[in-house]
Structure 1
Amino acid sequence: MKQILTILFFFAFLFSFAQTNPNHVYVSGYYRSNGTYVQPHYRTAPNNTNRDNFSTRGNTNPYTGQAGYITRDSNTSSTYTPSSYSNSTSTYPNSTYKTTSTSTSNNSYNSTNIYTTTSSYGQLWRTPSQFDAIRPIQKGSSVNVIEYDNGFYKVISKGTIGYINSITINENSKMKALKIGAKDYSNTKGDKATINEIFDIEVSKIYALPTKYISAREANLRLGPTTITNTLTTIKRNDKIRIIDNSTYNSWTKIIVEADDGFYIGFLNNSLISAYKIENQEQTDGPTSVVKSFLKHLDQEEFYSAYSLTNNPSWNKNGGFSWFSSTDAYGGIDYVTIYEVRLENAYDDQAVVFADYYSSDPLHTSRRWKQILILEYQYGKWKIVKTKLAE
């Protein structure tokens, strides 16, 4: 009997040291003063002891599976105040942004783990809306479902808490049960957000972000850092944008741009962004003038003059002017009709020009061509360095 009591006491003692605070607080993602972004996460509600914290030794974070590492304090009593933290605004004195938790579901964290996979390619969002993507989610990715919120499931994906649109996730019976009692919102939001729906911060904080400009004639702002995601809006050349993050998404940059009635947050390919406005006449007209001159020289069979406007490595490798002027290349052209030449993009010392023209080549193919010509600014002159079909 004494041995049994000893064992029971041991387990009771162990349980008292391994129990975590049952009241959890959602912390929205935010930026520290040094620019580092802190992912959205859950923590235990504050009290007068750290013994029940996720990060304390002997405890485990139920959202990430990470074991605690902080030494326990000597306090044993705990007073929970969950009501003061439910759906509250979290302010961080040392951060750039003050963010507001946007979770609106009546369902709290479900301690029963619900695992499923994604049914298609999608995005992990910071809020239950398509305003701000954390990262892409591949088809078949495993996630731990927390709750349902107005068409989105809050999930844990590789240690990151976010939202997945219900149409891109495989629902099971347990997940459908989460919808029962969830608050229904009849006013669905579009892809455009007002400033308060994006960040609960002063507008001046956004205006303090680093600024750059659109270098392309038109640029598509996308929901995620890939061309397969939807287009939020189209931005014109020289429109001012503000940089949120240009170091996390490889060849993409997360930006915020002001619209007439709010702001957009999305992603732009780096090739569409310039550090300055394109105001130099040589910068805007130079590349198109070179392409027009190139085609006019071909029309007049002035092949040397046309070749002098180029510095194409593949043409140089094939034999330079001898190959270029031969009937195997451009030498067979006897006239050209130009329909359109327009500048598609210009940034730093490169430019992209679209050309629509008809060329007559009796020895080969007489047809209408639609081409993309890549130019570089070399030693004070624009040179055609590459051509490819536009369609």
Structure 2
Amino acid sequence: MKPNDDNGRLPTSERPFRVLILSGSERRQYNCPGVDSKSRALMLRMADRLPQDWEIDYEDLGNVYGRARIQSCNACVSTSMALCCWPCNCYEKGDSTEPDLMWNLDLYARLDLADAWAIIGPHNWYGPTSNLKLMFDRLVCANGGNPKEALIDHKNPEQAMALETAPEWEELSVNHLEGRTAAFFCYDDAGANEIGRDGRPRKLRHKQWFDPDREPFDDPRDAYRPLVWQCRYSGVEVPDGLWTNARSGEGRPYSEDQAEDMIHEDAFMQAFDGWTDRFATVVAAKGKAEPGRWRAFGYEPPGHRWADAKLKWRELRMRTGHAPEGSSPRIQDELGLNEDAVLSPAKSDGERLRGS
């Protein structure tokens, strides 16, 4: 059945089971590629194959021209875990300055509402797609992020660094999506028609620089290993049987390896359908996930104009070399570590080096 977000307010025992399927390819026919991805076709196939008494939510993360993209993580957590807020408060829904697809599509709430996630995507250079990597980077806040931004005046680094060592932090810093299940179906083409008989790229002139025996992994599913282990680290179960890879289009030019070609590859489609069926069996047996104490679903970001004004004043002082007394930026500035007291932070280091 179609998802009804209002069911998220019901007791767990009374709401339907819910899954979220994500297509992780960047390709959409409404941008430069001009053609939809195989992962979109697989996402829709999976939605049709799963039990129809479940709430089946899905989203294609592909790049649509003129639509917001998933903004990158700002790595607040590396300053302090308490500066990394749950759900992410680096960006906001509907913001025109830094539009963010994670917020515009309510992905934090939809991940929270789902009992299980199914993630489908191709290999991009021995790893997951950029969009999936961006999304998972932005889920660092689910792993112990601060659910009470008021305690740090929205985004004050010094207050966050103090909170991280305060007694109350232990209770606040939890895995906010723990208990759910994630499944990964990734696929590759073994280099399509670009690989020669020696296992090296045909176009490569310096053949000695590429040793096919030393490629990053033997099992191609390991391209998604970082995402799998991020889930496990955060209390989201990834059963080994629900993490798989299949191959499509090996030896063919990319133009002959589209979704309409893929559906005629019996071994590939059987692998995908088998993964879908295993997913349905495993997550049904496991059952529903209880919501966390601090939910992304139903979250209403508080206003922070006054906090923004104070942070702007902090920034202006740093630009002139007057960071807050005792702060990390002040110490780094005094030690000459970063040379980052500049009047125009948007101006690149390359421009400054060239005197432009």
Name the TM-score, length of structure 1 as normaliser.
Answer: 0.18
The structure that has the greater radius of gyration is 1
Instruction: Tell me the TM-score normalised to structure 2 length.
Output: 0.19
Point out the structure with the larger helix share.
2
Query: RCO higher in 1 or 2 (8 Å CA, sep ≥ 6)?
Result: 2
Q: Which has the higher strand share?
A: 1
